[in-house]
Structure 1
């Protein structure tokens, strides 16, 4: 079922369709159809939107044996090791590269293994524990079942394209990426954006959180979730697109549910074929904080349920209080990092310990980063 929040977008594209005489007159409308098409999975049960549900901040809201930490595959049994990151604002991610300081930047997935949005779109259909299609040719065969797709592909990418498997598959990824670059995925209309435009005022608690968030003196939030980090857009995406090891522990519930071997360690960035430096082990891409309040669970493996827990997790590095060394979700001491050797000690220990009122203020500020169409989820 199409999401309830884009009728204007759909109506606009339908009007264009009537004029052009095609079901999908633009690459964006074709991409929209492909994004929601479950026929592109082996058992015809899963689409891009299944794990990136536009009704829930473009993450996966489904419950599994591991809660909502990881996604269930098209086969109805497979579970992954990592949570599905939001597809919202992903279009502003720079292509995977190494900068002048030697740091890896950008790319898609938690380890940047897809350099571009197009490459990312081509991954899940062929992943055996996701959409499960055996090969690109099988995907193209599914596309050719739909005459409207064939017509659109030939109109948009050239006649005879469906007889060239590689070209047709690339056309599919280009279309999906084009749809993900529309304002549907990045409206920039959160309370924070409206505050910047002078349309609303922040509460005292939200304002305190904003000041703390951007203050190098009181927190290190902006070190990784810094201002205007994207080279493609001047608006704030709340991520540096860098990779860091912040000491996240393994999610034992996920490992028990998906049958991971005891002692397995997620290599993080080192799993990227373009990276061969042991010093990158255990590092994961800094996610956007936009819609963070409604897209839990958190961290690359969904190990934390609550946004406040995440702030407390960071604060444990700065606080000597015994109470701050307890995970409120388990009532036990924070578990050790999966990979301790590459821990970002300097970044994590910057700034003083925070009292409850300041932790609550930071959470309140991050809630203001929620897109307007998801603000009702804050109440849930």
Structure 2
């Protein structure tokens, strides 16, 4: 569990972010302007209030969890605790309950468009891995009253916990409306809005990775990283950019490396998680608003920002190492990739066998080890500058 003083939070907020970049000089200017327009929580009163709520453990049943517990600022806004199925999922406030999915990063989440159906009948955007919350405000409301997470009984209980703090009452009256917390619905919306305001600040999306700095001419990528970059963006040698495209958010021109769409890539069952839940995760079909069986097994394409430090991977945390993920993709085109290096056994069966996107997965030639390593090296360049030390500490760990 992460606990930070307001002073330390403010230091992060003031120092976390540089500008971003693009692939040509004219667009670079636009990127810098967009990054500069992102608010800093220490100067935005709603975001500052949201930051305190985000880290307030009193807003959980046992007063021991906050939003920042499962989206820890120190670990790129993911949950690195290993007390629930070796970190595949998160432990709830009661110390016993476990969620059914790996907690996605809250970093860069603000750029996901509202959940909607596209002209081709497929779906795009939203929050959570199944898009069940259309935007950040709705997403922020979910964990407080989820019995497997922060586990408060209802929205009224959340509002009452907030009202225990006189400082909160004063600021909500000032920033929203007098007595806003006396109305449960209005108060709950205001609480979530403040948290969403915090999640829209530069702290969550600094765009200052090695990739960004190289685009701005501040540093040079290594030859291996450059090879990985070329392979990643190539439509001839990999299928990476079929889903992890650039500049696809309607909310900002920054590069988030996702098209925000939903895909079934044939992720294997996580045996430990399946033993715990006893159910198959149907992804988008588990969204209460979706009833089309063709959406079973599809999950939202994640941003690749900070991907190298936010494992374990996939919706069920089945893979621990980033290189394993690249090898898993390569198995669709490489007959030699038959063994999962983490288990030393054949790749597990897909959790949902229907609707696998073979059309995109089977594009491209087989990758030799040198190219796999180059792609992994490039993906590491997408790590925010303040998390680069996590890469260094990880290099001494075992890589499968």
TM range (shorter): over 0.9
Whether the aligned pair in 2 keeps the contact of 1:6 and 1:184 (CA below 8 Å) is no
- How far does residue 253 in structure 1 lie from its aligned partner after superposition? 1.5
Residue 269 in structure 1 maps to residue 284 in structure 2: yes
The Cα offsets for residues 75-97 of structure 1, whole Å up to 9 and x where unpaired, read as 00111110000000000000000
- How far does residue 229 in structure 1 lie from its aligned partner after superposition? 1.3
For residue 287 of structure 1, what is the aligned residue in structure 2? 302
For residue 155 of structure 1, what is the aligned residue in structure 2? 174
Of residues 248, 265, 273 in structure 1, which corresponds to 2:267?
248
For residue 359 of structure 1, what is the aligned residue in structure 2? 372
Residue 332 in structure 1 maps to residue 351 in structure 2: no
Q: Flag as ranges the 4+ runs of structure 1 deviating above 2 A.
A: 3-6, 8-11
Of residues 96, 104, 111 in structure 2, which corresponds to 1:77?
96
Alignment of structure 1 residues 147-186 onto 2, 5 Å: 147-186=166-205
Gaps of 5+ in 1: 12-22
Gaps of 5+ in 2: 16-41, 394-400
- How far does residue 331 in structure 1 lie from its aligned partner after superposition? 0.4
Q: Flag the 1:80–1:300 CA change in 2: closer, same or farther, 3 A.
A: same
Whether the aligned pair in 2 keeps the contact of 1:24 and 1:152 (CA below 8 Å) is no
Q: Give the Cα separation in 1 of the matches to 2:147 and 2:43.
A: 29
The Cα offsets for residues 247-304 of structure 1, whole Å up to 9 and x where unpaired, read as 0011111233xx322xx21110001112110000000000010000000000001000
Q: Flag the 1:8–1:275 CA change in 2: closer, same or farther, 3 A.
A: closer
Q: TM-score normalised to the size of structure 2?
A: 0.89
Residue 45 in structure 1 maps to residue 64 in structure 2: yes
Q: Give the Cα separation in 1 of the matches to 2:12 and 2:81.
A: 27
The Cα offsets for residues 116-152 of structure 1, whole Å up to 9 and x where unpaired, read as 0100000000000100000111111101100010001
The Cα offsets for residues 192-232 of structure 1, whole Å up to 9 and x where unpaired, read as 00011111101000000000000010000000000111111
Residue 28 in structure 1 maps to residue 28 in structure 2: no
For residue 260 of structure 1, what is the aligned residue in structure 2? 277
For residue 16 of structure 1, what is the aligned residue in structure 2? none
Whether the aligned pair in 2 keeps the contact of 1:24 and 1:148 (CA below 8 Å) is no
Q: TM-score normalised to the size of structure 1?
A: 0.93
Of residues 335, 358, 376 in structure 2, which corresponds to 1:345?
358
Whether the aligned pair in 1 keeps the contact of 2:308 and 2:380 (CA below 8 Å) is yes
For residue 144 of structure 2, what is the aligned residue in structure 1? 125
Q: Considering only aligned residues, what root-mean-square deviation do their CA atoms show, in Å?
A: 1.6
- How far does residue 36 in structure 1 lie from its aligned partner after superposition? 0.2
Of residues 9, 13, 25 in structure 2, which corresponds to 1:9?
13
